[in-house]
Structure 1
Amino acid sequence: MAGHVHPRQLAFVLPHEESLTRDNFLEGPANAAALALIDAWPEWPSRTMLLVGPEGSGKSHLAAIWAEQSGARSTAAHALSTMDVPSALATGALVVEDLRLGAFDERALFHLLNLAREESAFLLLTSRVPPSALDVELRDLRSRLRALPVASLLPPDDQLFRALIVKYCADRQLTVDEPMVSYLASRIERSYAAARDTVALLDREALRLGRPITRALAAEVLRNP
């Protein structure tokens, strides 16, 4: 019929749960040092340790594994305040996630480090950048951060990258075969964030268009990100 308007299909993006257990952590040379640190607890070289790695590299996953082992509480670095420090250390272990340039209270973090030392508490800090890149104004905090032992997570090698694509698909209950994984792995940036974001985009587009996830759909999505 002339002038007929086709109803627009709505895509309902349902929440999906990413498993953060030890069994579901993907191991590889890129994260071996960081995983070894978590597995070695409480025999750490220091009671305060720093995990450093790019976005999506597994820092939060490792922190969740350690929190389960140690009974640690967790807080975002930007949410940490001086007043909250004593209660944050109530269990004797704390995760402080995502130290970012200019995005945390320096005095609160310095108070936390001092109190943790006094109480022999364990701290696990995470950041995308090393302490030298944080440009901290408090001189004493700057020296303390730069003295912390660091466990680094490196960019993924080919095997880990391909496994990440499979895992992110599985987290969304998507089934992909080996040729599809190879196609994606050879066409997107080899980074944790790119693997995660590409799978999320494919999932959204498949729902929006009412199509299965195929190589043809992937080609369209990667052509028009």
Structure 2
Amino acid sequence: MAEQLSFDLPVRAALGREDFFVTSANAGPVAMIEDVAHWPGGKLAISGPEASGKTHLAHVWADRTDGVVISASDLARFDIPTLASAVNVAVEDVPHISGRRREENALFHLHNLLLSEGGRLLLTGREAPTRWAIDLADLRSRLAGTTLVTLDPPDDALLAALLKKQFHDRQIRAGDGLVDYLLPRMTRSGAAARRLVALIDRLSLNERRSISVPLARRALEMSQNRDEDGAEDHP
């Protein structure tokens, strides 16, 4: 029998407000996103680990405010006055431009233009702005003064919702029994949920097996082995 090959096809993530599950772990940041009129100084920073929901919240906010979401790494490609005319701008992964003079200068000018005209600026990064290694001193001081909200590690309800969302994004029907099996056994993070569901999907495709608890058990074992030796799994 010929081996069936699986391909890493792009996964279209659902980023609407109805797709964002709110629990005590993220209620604070959600409340701030929905109360944009009261942001101190017109700006807000969201911090949290990989796959904690920063991008999703940025898109929820942009949808609510008719704003735009861009990557900090792309800033130098934009005409900053034109970008500032959007009034509400979310800039993702600000730490990625550390030491990149053009991008840092672009963010500095965007910050000043937006806030001088009464706009709103949303920033994201894995750590607090005070820990972003920005070389441009004037920009660094402005970022350090930004109000911060932090996405906490997921509780049980949120982790279950993250698993279900990852399955849904991959158009996989996963019953509550499968999620209930994974929940107490997996690494407790949004990034782990994303990697685990991707691994389950690849195993299912490669082996032409339906998704089940036994297959999920194997994926968990492979994921744990990878975490221990730092290597990627390629089923």
Post-superposition offset of 1:92: 1.2
- State the TM-score, normalized to the length of structure 2: 0.86
Unpaired runs of at least 5, structure 2: 224-235
User: Mean Cα displacement is larger for which, 172-181 or 44-53?
Assistant: 172-181
Q: 1:114 is matched with which residue: 112, 115, 126? A: 112
Query: Which residue is equivalent to 1:39?
Result: 34
| AA matched with 2:52 | S
Structure 1 pair 215/124, CA: closer, same or farther in 2 (3 Å)?
same
Cα distance in 1 for partners of 2:210, 2:26 equals 33
Structure 1 pair 187/115, CA: closer, same or farther in 2 (3 Å)?
same
Post-superposition offset of 1:15: 4.0
* SS of alignment partner, residue 93 of structure 2: strand
Cα distance in 1 for partners of 2:192, 2:180 equals 15
Structure 1 pair 194/139, CA: closer, same or farther in 2 (3 Å)?
same
Contact 2:99–2:134, Cα closer than 8 Å, also in 1: no
Q: 1:9 is matched with which residue: 4, 19, 23? A: 4
CA shift digits 1:36-86 (9 cap, x unpaired): 011112332331111111111111111111111211122110111286211
Contact 2:99–2:135, Cα closer than 8 Å, also in 1: no
Cα distance in 2 for partners of 1:67, 1:160 equals 22
Structure 1 pair 205/86, CA: closer, same or farther in 2 (3 Å)?
same
Cα distance in 1 for partners of 2:106, 2:53 equals 26
* SS of alignment partner, residue 81 of structure 1: helix
Post-superposition offset of 1:224: 2.4
- State the TM-score, normalized to the length of structure 1: 0.90
Structure 1 pair 32/115, CA: closer, same or farther in 2 (3 Å)?
same
Query: Which residue is equivalent to 1:159?
Result: 157
* SS of alignment partner, residue 224 of structure 1: helix
User: Mean Cα displacement is larger for which, 52-61 or 135-144?
Assistant: 135-144
Post-superposition offset of 1:103: 6.7
Query: Which residue is equivalent to 2:123?
Result: 125
* SS of alignment partner, residue 154 of structure 2: coil
Query: Which residue is equivalent to 2:227?
Result: none
Contact 1:82–1:111, Cα closer than 8 Å, also in 2: no
Query: Which residue is equivalent to 2:43?
Result: 48
Contact 2:95–2:134, Cα closer than 8 Å, also in 1: no
Q: Establish whether residue 146 from structure 1 lines up as the match of residue 141 from structure 2.
A: no
Query: Which residue is equivalent to 2:191?
Result: 193
Cα distance in 2 for partners of 1:162, 1:66 equals 23
| AA matched with 1:220 | R
Query: Which residue is equivalent to 2:74?
Result: 79
* SS of alignment partner, residue 193 of structure 1: helix
Contact 1:45–1:149, Cα closer than 8 Å, also in 2: yes
CA shift digits 1:141-188 (9 cap, x unpaired): 221111100111111012211221122112222222333212211222
Q: 1:65 is matched with which residue: 60, 69, 74? A: 60
User: Mean Cα displacement is larger for which, 117-126 or 191-200?
Assistant: 117-126
Contact 1:49–1:149, Cα closer than 8 Å, also in 2: yes
Cα distance in 2 for partners of 1:16, 1:78 equals 22
User: Mean Cα displacement is larger for which, 37-46 or 114-123?
Assistant: 37-46
Greater radius of gyration (CA):
1
User: Mean Cα displacement is larger for which, 103-112 or 196-205?
Assistant: 103-112
Query: Which residue is equivalent to 2:170?
Result: 172
- State, as a whole percentage, how many aligned pairs show the same letter: 40
Q: Establish whether residue 223 from structure 1 lines up as the match of residue 221 from structure 2.
A: yes
